[in-house]
Amino acid sequence: MKKIMFSCLSMILTLSVFAQPTFDNSLMGTIGGSYTLTDWDATDFNPGEAGAGVIWDFSAITITGPVTVFNNVNPAATPYAASFGLATLAVTPDNTNFGYFQVTAAQYNSLGVGTPGASISYSNAETIFSFPLTYNTTNDDTFAASFVSTGVGFNRSGNVHMEADGYGTLILPSGTFTNVLRVKVEEDYSDESIGLPVPLSIEYETELYYWFMEGLTGPLFYYANMVTSSITGTTTTELGSLNPEAVVSIQNVSLPENLIHVFPNPATENLYIQNMNNIEFENIALYNMMGQSVLNQTMNNETITAINIEELPAGIYTLQLRNESGTLSKMISIE
């Protein structure tokens, strides 16, 4: 019976890994909603391969913070509404800087940004995503804008290519996420100065990678590589962010009583894990709300395993048990 149960669990996990996710225009949320991102160290990051059923293992990344909440607001209620009449959605991390978007059933279009220092309003919008968005969806577009920065006028023009180039399993410090779609966005554009005695040209080449998971607003994981070239030289900037709330809201799966029993919950000094079916687990870990690993050890696979947690700060954590077939997760509270 135990072998049958384990085989069924393995089969379910395997089938879920190869399911192909599809997204509509609610991908980045609607007015009144929000999503949360925190930074991680993207230095010399390799975004991995494209394809079907890929396993992207980024469990070794270092989360640096801070945590930022991006709010979706009504563009008409923002300070720069007059410059973005076609916008149906505005996104802001601080109620000072705003990104403006036109969201239709078929497209997610960037109309530009409004900031105290400079506003860029596209005369030709940039299509970032097209819908329905699933594996092998592609889109090509051009975009253009004119704007003023530090007293100098610029004309911007460029091309963007979007491709949903892979799906599979994403492994982060916070856990293992299945049915994840990767979308690669490549931008190639330039800013040309207007009216300067010596023309100034700035060239940009960017590669943006988004990992999306059904049921989660905004990206689960994000990486950007931006190369900027001008008369002063060439610089490369790498940025990374992830959704730290995905650990609790998505990956927190209630475990069947016939697999394990965790007690006490809340816990103060020791946490006990009772293996109800003698299923072997290779690893046990605890993650905080930031997705940072605070405990990682080999599972002894005894009937009851004890974990000392008295040195950990009070809060909500995710307990994870892993074996070759997948990951089981449960939210716990430490007081």
> What percentage of the chain exceeds 70 in pLDDT?
88
Mean pLDDT of the chain: 87
Supply the DSSP symbol for 83: G
- Residue 4: which H helix or E strand, with range? helix 2-17
User: How many domains in the chain?
Assistant: 2
Do 60 and 157 belong to one domain?
Answer: yes
- Regarding whether 161 and 28 lie in a shared domain, the answer is yes
> Side chain identity at 117, as an amino acid letter?
G
pLDDT score of 18 = 45
- In a shared domain, residues 229 and 114: yes
pLDDT of residue 12: 34
Domain boundary pick from 217, 247, 277: 247
CA distance 229 to 233: 6
Q: Do residues 110 and 182 share a domain?
A: yes
Task: Give me the residue label for tokens 């892993």.
Answer: 322
> For 39-60, what is the mean pLDDT?
94
Q: Which band of pLDDT confidence, cut at 50, 70 and 90, is reported for residue 290?
A: low
Identify which has the larger pLDDT, 69 or 257: 69
- Same domain (yes/no): 214, 260: no
213/279 same-domain check:
no
Which candidate, 309, 317, 321, places its Cα nearest to that of 244? 317
* pLDDT tens digits, one per residue of 103-118: 999 999 999 999 998 8
pTM here is 0.71
Are 245 and 291 contacting, i.e. CB atoms less than 8 angstroms apart? no
Nearest alpha carbon to residue 255 among 176, 320, 334, 325: 320
Mark whether 70 and 100 lie in a shared domain.
yes
Among residues 227, 247, 267, the one where a domain terminates is: 247
> In which domain, by residue range, is 326 found?
252-334
The alpha carbon torsion through 143, 144, 148, 152 (nearest 10 deg) reads: 110
Q: Which pLDDT band, with edges at 50, 70 and 90, does 276 fall under?
A: confident
Looking at the fold, whether 182 and 270 belong to one and the same domain comes out as no
Rounded-to-integer distance, Cα 251 and Cα 175, Å: 7
pLDDT at 289: 65
Q: What is the mean predicted confidence (pLDDT) over 35-48?
A: 96
**Model confidence at 300: pLDDT above 80:** no
Whether 51 contacts 180, CB under 8 Å: no
The domain spanning residue 313 has which CATH number? Answer: 2.60.40.3080
Per-residue pLDDT at 296: 80
